[in-house]
Structure 1
Amino acid sequence: MKDPHRLLGAALGSCVLAAAGIGAGPAYAQENKLWISAPYETVLPGVDADGGARERSLAVQVSRDVADDTVPAGRLTVDISEIASFARVSWPTNCEPESEVRAVCDFPEMPAGTESVPAATFGLRALPGADVSASGYVRYSAVAAQATSHPAETRVGLGNGPDLGLSQTDYQHGLRPGSETSVRATLSNSGNRTAERTLLWLNASYGLRFEQRHANCEYREHHTGTSALCVLDEAVAPGQRYALSTGLDVGRKAMYERFDHSVHPYADETLEDMRGDWAWTRGTGAELDLRAVAATGAAAADPDIDPQDNHRTVMLNARNTADLKLLGSRVSGAAGDTVTARVTVHNRGPAWVASLGAGASVAKVRFQAPQGTTVMGLPEEDCWTSEDGASPTTYYCRTPIYLHDKASHTFEIPLRIDRVVRGARTTVATVNDDPELSIRKFDPNLRNNSARIVVN
């Protein structure tokens, strides 16, 4: 069974990046690499009931590695020869067709400090009578003076069915614990078939709470938050758009929060698959936004032809703090013994700490073996040694990516006593400046972020 919560780690979008081969020339050509960024894949809807076909847009950008100098204006070459048998292209004004299947598009210079520029946005539409099993690649290359990129590509296919999607919502920052907020999005169908019903999945992280528990939704609590599965009974026809709004309470423990939602054409099998083996509880409040309609019967639902925009993530950050405290231990033994020292990271709150975007550890601790001892058998998945070859060896261990308020995580460190040194000790301390999750930014008291291991 699929765990809806695992969608937290789902990729929401991807791009094709092609590194440049740089020849001799000015400094910008030697020091910079050009990259082409374009959709990895797109699916064109086939002909709809009226005999027309909906257009898809492909947006292409050109970027470079180093933004310290100016890259002059350049040209993007687009080749659609592989899809010409089943798709028609609409070129923008900055593109000059060289043939029926190839065009060259002018893109502007990149001044110092600018990392990328738009190169072209062109439309694709399925041809009448095209075989829905057809597929091919749109291929790109770019040049700016002596800087040239390796080719990039977008796979293009055809499909018949609904194409549900959610718009991306801006991230929210500076929220106040104890306040309320909402996440708004637009639900649309850009396919060529109607979605008779819609299955909506929602997930609010631990520091957030749903303001309402709707009667057409069922809910499940888990370690990192609350998930909901909602059945929306209103048909969504091609071209239709609906506003969705989810009200959220920002809890007292909120800090680095995340809200996810995704849409799927409804099918009994999809609902059962997303329920998995967990227990869900139906809400009792008003139905979510849409009017109730009669069930559509047992007809099979068409699959979503392009699920790349079905899932969206919104990060919500609250103004809060969490005090991490490190606790050490004392151990003793004779020469030749192996003893276990314990180091505990305790979160005194008030907020929980979670890295639900980058997936970084809440804390990394750094230590060396006490004098006269050797570190033995640390778990490789959580601990490692420094790579600089320094002596004595420095060890690092990491916690999971979240730690609830008032919760602790303990590392067990096996130490072999090679010789007895009375009062041998070492300091264990957190690494406070991890760029993915900096303890210094949320912990108001760094004085208790170190502890000692004492042997004998």
Structure 2
Amino acid sequence: MAVLLAAALTTAGTAGLAQAADEAPIPVAITGTERLGLSLNGEPEEERYPQIELQLNAPGEVGEDEQPTPVHQGPYTVTIDATELKGFAKLKLPCAVQAGGLTAVCEENDLYPGGQFNPDYDIRVDLLAGAKAGDTGKIKVTGAGEGLAFTGHEVDVLVGGPEIRMKKLPAPPKGFSAGDTYAAPLAFRNVGSMSADGVLLRFSASRGMSFPETYSNCSYAEEDKDNLIRYRKVVECAFEGEFEPGKAYGTETPVKVATEKFAAYDIFGYWFSALGAKQATARVEGGTKGTGPELKLKEVPVGDAAGYGKYAGEIDLPANSKYDLDLTGSRVSGKQGETVKVPVTFANNGPAWIGSLRAGGEPFGFYVEIPKGAKVAKAPENCQEADSPAQYLCWADTPFLENTERAYAFELRIDKVIEGAKGKISLPKWEGGNPNEADPANDDGWIVLNGTGDEATPGDTGGTGTGGGDNGGSGSSGEGDNGGTDTGGSTGGAASGTDGGSEGPDDGGLASTGSVALLTSVAAAVALAAGGAFYVTARRRRTS
């Protein structure tokens, strides 16, 4: 029996190994930077950062609040081979650098779905003395590991190629406001050592903008429809021809950018790339073509070199839009020992939306004072105790669309009945006020417990009436809502029905501007002063 049992276990083990060997290897994609141009024009760099970023991607994805589980456990290696750059470049490589300094071998363990939790690699490339225009080579990246099938990746490196600088966009005309159309003169200068054989133009606009004209050599698309922070209407145009070094070129006619009535600090940006005529045309042919005339380029005077930059092609429009923030409390009655529901609403009555695009969708806060004689039995999930149990700090996520409101449902326990007890609901204040607030008079709201109806509630636009016989305004009680929930409607762009988003703005984003930046920075300071937690998700850099 013992012999038979041993034989059976041996057979089962062999079968298990055979089954594991028959499993298909897990595909692993190496993605990231595909092309790198190294300049010979002597322009100083703003920052010596890695120009090449690489990432490992495995099948599947990890949910936002999900604990990642490896799709593979075990050792593997990633090799970065830059020997083709010998003689004209030196590299700063990650991991273990081999003799000669142009090859690195990275030893890793475990792979996760997607790319967020997998290794990434930064590479810095600098020219050696004696490098000349036209020097070229490839950086080859490969991987190896049992049970894994890596897709190789190559980075094409070129010395002294075409280098594109965008012309800075002019300020809008005086009095420009939401609903007006901005005429964008798009132009670039080739500051490189070689001509560009064709270029690609890409321009984009956030939710509050649109393009009233289309062009036959351009394709049209929408990106990130489910994320209003990153949502863009995108146009790509292909241009053939030779664009010589030292010369500047611009569109024959400005590109019209229309703004919606709700627009406020929306972002228009453009970018020329020396992608090459073949690749540029292929990109445009693969999209939805415009129906209008062809957009053409012409040579233009170079002008002042300071008028061009790597990241100059962006503008925020318009800067003078108004929105009406409105905090509303409620009037509630109850007996001693009773717990009552107290709805609070925070509305943006428009006409402008609050996109907070430059701030990356940072939330902003407001204070809720608890009336005397009561304590919080249950607070909305978006609210937390601030300086004391009698004061709460609530957060409103952005974007905050026009003509929408958020409901916050508090539950208060009445420990002592105090007739006409009041608690103020207010936004943080800062010197000079908010220049984009259309009606500061309704920025405050009030909670009134066991009121008589004669209590002064300056700034409140009404308030809901609930509870035992207290006469107040009318409205939704917010029952069953334990957070800030949007109600109401909005008008405008294709993605206007979707609120929220957490990703950052387009690449090349500038510092936060305008009252939204003021609002969010003040709220952040309030949070720190109150000891509140500010949750920030750090995301690894990505390349496209």
Q: TM-score, normalised by structure 2?
A: 0.45
1:226-241 aligned within 5 A: 226-239=232-245, 240-241=247-248
Shift of 1:449: 1.0
Q: CA deviation at 1:197?
A: 4.4
Deviation at 1:220? 2.8
Q: Distance in 2 between matches of 1:339 and 1:419?
A: 11
What does residue 140 of structure 1 align with? Answer: none
Between stretches 261-270 and 239-248, larger displacement belongs to 261-270
1:80 equivalent in structure 2? none
Residue 528 of structure 2 corresponds to none
Counterparts of 2:359 and 2:160 in 1: how far apart (Å)?
36
Q: Which position in structure 1 is the counterpart of 2:220?
A: 218
Q: Which amino acid aligns with 2:292?
A: G
2:367 equivalent to 1:372: no
Q: Deviations over 1:1-31 (max 9, x none)?
A: xxxxxxxxxxxxxxxxxxxxxxxxxxxxxxx
Alignment-derived partner of residue 399 in structure 1: 396
Going from structure 1 to structure 2, the CA distance change for 1:354 and 1:127 (only over 3 Å counts) comes to same
Identity in percent:
24
Residue 44 (structure 2) aligns with: 58
| Equivalent residue in structure 2 for 1:412, among 408, 411, 422 | 408
Select which of 419, 436, 439 maps to 1:442.
Answer: 436
Deviations 1:339-369 (A, max 9, x none): 6543322222333333333457685311123
Map 1:307-456 onto structure 2 (within 5 A). Answer: 309=310, 312-330=313-331, 341-359=342-360, 364-370=365-371, 371-374=373-376, 376=378, 378-379=380-381, 383=383, 385-386=385-386, 390-408=387-405, 410-417=406-413, 419=415, 421=417, 424-433=421-430, 440-454=434-448
Asked whether the equivalents of residues 363 and 399 of structure 1 are also in contact (C-alpha less than 8 Å), the reply is yes
User: In the alignment, is residue 286 of structure 1 matched against residue 290 of structure 2?
Assistant: no
Specify the alignment match of 1:259 in structure 2: 268
Contact residue 365 and residue 428 of structure 2 kept, 8 A: yes
- Counterpart of 1:128 in structure 2: which amino acid? K
Alpha-carbon shift at residue 446 of structure 1 (Å): 1.3
Question: Between Structure 1 and Structure 2, which shows a larger proportion of strand residues?
Answer: 1
Cα distance in 2 for residues equivalent to 1:56 and 1:130: 16
Identify the residue that residue 257 of structure 2 maps to in structure 1: 248
Q: Secondary structure at the match of 1:233?
A: strand
Against the structure 1 CA distance between its residues 270 and 283, is the aligned structure 2 distance closer, same or farther, given a 3 Å change threshold?
closer
The answer for the alignment partner of 1:10 in structure 2 is: none
**How many Å apart are 1:328 and its aligned residue?**
2.2
Q: Return the letter of the residue paired with 2:343.
A: R
Q: Is the 8 A contact 2:422 2:446 kept in 1?
A: yes
Shift of residue 428 of structure 1? 0.8
Which residue pairs with 1:164 in the alignment? 164
> 1:453: how far off?
2.9
The alpha-carbon distance between structure 1 residues 260 and 329, as it changes in their structure 2 partners (threshold 3 A), is: farther
Distance 1:316 1:454 in 2: 41
Distance 1:267 1:430, change over 3 A: farther
Residue pair 1:254, 1:318 contacting (<8 A) in 2 also: no
* Distance change in 2, residues 1:271/1:442 (3 Å): farther
Q: Distance in 2 between matches of 1:200 and 1:337?
A: 65
Query: Conserved in 2, the CA contact under 8 Å of 1:234 and 1:290?
Result: no
- 1:378/1:414 contact within 8 Å kept: yes
Distance 1:425 1:204, change over 3 A: same
Change (3 A) 1:378 1:406: closer
> How many angstroms apart in 1 are the aligned matches of 2:135 and 2:444?
66
CA contact (8 A) 1:217 1:229 kept: yes
Please, which runs of 5 or more residues in structure 2 have no aligned partner?
1-35, 48-86, 90-127, 139-156, 299-308, 450-466, 468-544
Partner Cα separation in structure 2 for residue 60 and residue 363 of structure 1:
32
**Alpha-carbon contact 1:363-1:430 (below 8 Å) kept:** no
Give CA-to-partner distance per residue, 1:307-336, whole Å, 9 cap, x none: x92673212334442222222235677888
Letter in 2 for 1:286: P
In structure 2, the partner of 1:48 is none
Check whether the contact 1:174–1:318 (CA below 8 A) recurs between aligned residues: no
- Displacement of 1:377 in angstroms is 5.4
Provide, for residues 199-223 of structure 1, a one-character-per-residue CA deviation record: whole Å limited to 9, x for no partner. Answer: 4332223443323122322143855
Distance change (3 Å), C-alpha of 1:217 and 1:417: same
Pair 60,403 (structure 1): closer, same or farther in 2 beyond 3 Å: closer
Distance 1:271 1:345 in 2: 49
SS of match in other structure, 1:259: strand
Deviations 1:74-93 (Å, cap 9, x if unpaired)? xxxxxxxxxxx959xxxxxx
> Is 1:201 aligned with 2:187?
no
Q: Secondary structure at the match of 1:323?
A: strand
SS in 1 for 2:435: helix
Question: How big is the alpha-carbon RMSD for the aligned residues of Structure 1 and Structure 2?
Answer: 4.8
Tell me the CA shift for residue 429 of structure 1: 1.4
2:316 aligned counterpart, secondary structure: strand
One-letter amino acid of the counterpart of residue 255, structure 2: T
Once the two structures are superposed, residues 234-285 of structure 1 have per-residue CA deviations (whole angstroms, 9 ceiling, x without a partner) of: 2454515321432123443334332122344269999999999xxx754322
CA distance in 1 between counterparts of 2:368 and 2:191 reads 55
Task: Tell me how far 1:378 sits from its aligned partner.
Answer: 4.6
AA in 1 matched with 2:183: S
Task: Tell me how far apart the structure 1 counterparts of residues 136 and 207 of structure 2 sit (CA, whole Å).
Answer: 44
Flag the 1:453–1:190 CA change in 2: closer, same or farther, 3 A: same
* Rg larger for: 2
The total of aligned residue pairs comes to 303
Q: Is the 8 A contact 2:342 2:412 kept in 1?
A: no
Aligned CA distance change for structure 1 residues 158 and 175 (closer, same or farther; 3 Å): same
The SS at the match of 2:313 is strand
Letter in 2 for 1:426: G
